[in-house]
Amino acid sequence: MKENRIHNFNAGPAALPLPVLEEIRDSFLDLNNCGMSVTEISHRSKWFDDIINDAVVRTKRLLKLDDRFHVLFIQGGASMQFAMIPMNFLPDEKTADYINTGTWSTKAVKEVEIQGKKVNIAASSEDKSFSYIPKEFQFTKDAAYVHITSNNTIKGTEWASFPDTDGVPIISDMSSDFMSRPIDMDKFGMIYAGAQKNIGPAGVCMAIIREDMLEMVPDTLPSMLKYTTYSSKNSMYNTPPCFSIYVIQLVTKWLEETIGGLDKMEQLNKAKGDLLYGFIDSSDFYNATAERDSRSLMNVTFRLPDEDLEKKFIEEAVENGLGGLKGHRSVGGCRASTYNATGIESIEALVGFMKDFEQKNG
């Protein structure tokens, strides 16, 4: 492997574990002695059966899922789930509660409204530019579900714990903190995640759905927009995104066998967050944008004294082998995405550069 790989802080597509990339490289032309690349084998073959089934089994072990939960692979990304969720789980006579914590939550709400279905904004942090996670909620009695976005890539906020919904199933977009920590799945009717932030390359969304939720799916939906189509066919009603699923299988293997599970992964992520936020808080030059009790361990957003310095910071960071630190175009500033595959050595390199930049420009 080339020695000039950068420290990758991209928000998505994002860093993948180096051992995974090396395994892809080494087996790309000949997967498990089958004489073909993973991109060439039939999705109906035993070789791909082994891949997708292993990805499902490892996901279930990592998240401690029981037999109530189905692990599905769906194309269209998390954005397609914004539309599919109300199609599948929100009858016309019922209301869904949504908690709005930023851009992706807002987009999810819009897809409910497009369908003319009933949506209640149970809480929102828009009053402070989505810089915090709400703590008070106005839930609808007997809501169909409560939808949240567990981590907010643009504003750098994350749910530290999940709301008490009095038994109403939570559906969560976990695209940017999926597999970063253990979660109590008893609260959730569904979680879903676009792969390209924390578990694989772009091209597939993993959805984990509880059996009783699938019983709500109407028969009248088009086949490709029904979750039951995927659950009944092991995600292979049509040709799935085989390569993306293969990489997810390798990432879940890495999480299990190299990291040692999600408890260990959470410890590593907290250590990275403590290091980076600790330095930012000690500085008068850098300013974290999210409120302390709502800070994300996956997307650290911060500002410098002015936009000219931010532009200089980003340019010089690239020159020093630190990539992807530009904030989202909608908010500006800087952002370090510190997903699972971004190691503590990358955080140490970033903090070292930030100290040096402050000394020269502060």
pLDDT value of position 133: 98
Domain extent for 248 = 21-259
Same domain? For 140 and 229 the reply is: yes
pLDDT (tens digit, 9 = 90+) per residue, 209-250?
Answer: 999 999 999 999 999 999 999 999 999 999 999 999 999 999
Report whether pLDDT(289) > 90. yes
For residues 351 and 301, state if they share a domain: yes
- Mean pLDDT of the region 25-38: 96
Q: Catalytic pick from 104, 117, 177, 226?
A: 104
**Both tokens assigned to 5:** 């790989």
Encoded tokens for 28 = 């790309």
Question: Is residue 9 a part of any domain in this protein?
Answer: no
**Same domain assignment for residues 185 and 72:** yes
105 shares its domain with 180: yes
Q: How far apart are the first and last CA of the chain?
A: 37
Which of these three, 193, 225, 259, is where a domain ends? 259
Asked if the structure places residue 194 within a domain, the reply is yes
With 80 as the cut, is the pLDDT of residue 267 above it?
Answer: yes
Clarify whether 104 is annotated catalytic. yes
In a domain, 102, yes or no: yes
Q: How many distinct structural domains can be found in the chain?
A: 2
| Catalytic residue of the set 117, 173, 226, 326 | 173
Q: Does residue 299 sit in the same domain as residue 231?
A: no
The reply to whether 47 belongs to the active site is no
Mean pLDDT of 47-60: 98
User: Are 166 and 253 in the same domain?
Assistant: yes
Residues 192 and 288 in one domain: no
Does some domain include residue 326? Answer: yes
Q: How far apart are CA 4 and CA 2, in angstroms?
A: 6
Catalytic member of 197, 226, 272, 326 = 197
- Domain containing residue 296: CATH number: 3.90.1150.10
Residues 287, 191: one domain?
A: no
Query: What's the mean per-residue pLDDT of the chain?
Result: 97
CB atoms within 10 A of CB 33: 8
Listed residue (129, 116, 174, 166) closest to 147, CA to CA = 174
CB contact at 8 A, 335 and 151? no
Domain boundary among 259, 276, 304: 259
For the stretch 69-127, pLDDT in tens is: 999 999 999 999 999 999 999 999 999 999 999 999 999 999 999 999 999 999 999 99
Asked whether residue 10 is assigned to any structural domain, the reply reads no
Domain boundary among 234, 259, 284: 259
Is it the case that residue 3 has pLDDT exceeding 90? no
More confident residue, 3 or 51: 51
Tell me the per-residue pLDDT of 150-191, one tens digit each, with 9 for 90 and over: 999 999 999 999 999 999 999 999 999 999 999 999 999 999
pLDDT of residue 1: 44
